[in-house]
Amino acid sequence: MKEPFYNFIRTLQDTITKKLEQVDGKALFKEDEWTREEGGGGFSRVLENGNVFEKGGVSISAVHGALPPAMQTYFKVGDLDFYATGLSLVIHPLNPMVPTVHANFRYFEMYDKEGTVMDSWFGGGLDLTPYYLFDEDATHFHTVCKSVCDRHKVANYADFKQKCDTYFHNTHREEGRGIGGLFYDYCKATPEFTMEDWLAFQMDMASHFLDAYVPIVEKRKDLPFTNAQRDWQEIRRGRYVEFNLVHDKGTLFGLKTNGRIESILMSLPPRVQWRYDHQPAADSEEARLLEVLKNPVDWI
């Protein structure tokens, strides 16, 4: 699985970055190739200070080596080797009417010291984090997710949507990070499904990321906004940072495996606010967003 999937994400990185550059019309992605001392490396592409996107990162990596003790404990395994590859992206728009988006598509293997594969699985997903809620945008994003799931017997939209709402949840705030999408992990071969089935779904979903996100950007990027709305965007970005640094398993894995810190923290927004006990005005659009984040909606 690892060779066809890695080749796929290499091409997909080009496709996504070219399209986002076209939408932005000003900023270009800069590529930073890096290597990991213990084995492997990757290509991080970052865009900053564009017309549409304040910051965006689209990274791919393929790392391998001995599984660190902390991760042995996490996976409840012994002294094994691992291989992990994936594409991860986060896009932070300038206009608060345009949502932030995150996506990750990954593959993982573990081996014994003789090189025998002991376990392997796919994982990933995509999710939307709006600052001002347009119901039709949420429905569009989820409809693309569901239509891909419906094409593959391995995928269950309702299950993956519920897992997304559960995972991307700031439990210390009792609110979701955004309005969800899909989240799936430890997707393995079974008597019913093969790894080829999972690979086909993974590639199909990743290939439709742009279809899920770009139409929303095109519709909202030129809407007017106020300084107060920009402040709200930066306050909500603070919640995004909290999730990534407190709860996110991908961040934890990168830090525990001596990953490249700039690539791991690429997802953090450039401008953020934390205001003490900030509460939106009653019956405002900001208050409506918070209500949805506390009570996930079935958008389809």
Q: Which of 290, 145, 158, 287 is closest to 216 using CA atoms?
A: 145
Catalytic residue among 64, 92, 102, 140: 102
Tell me if residue 247 is catalytic. Answer: no
- CA dihedral (166, 171, 176, 182) in degrees, to 10, reads -20
Tell me the catalytic residues.
102
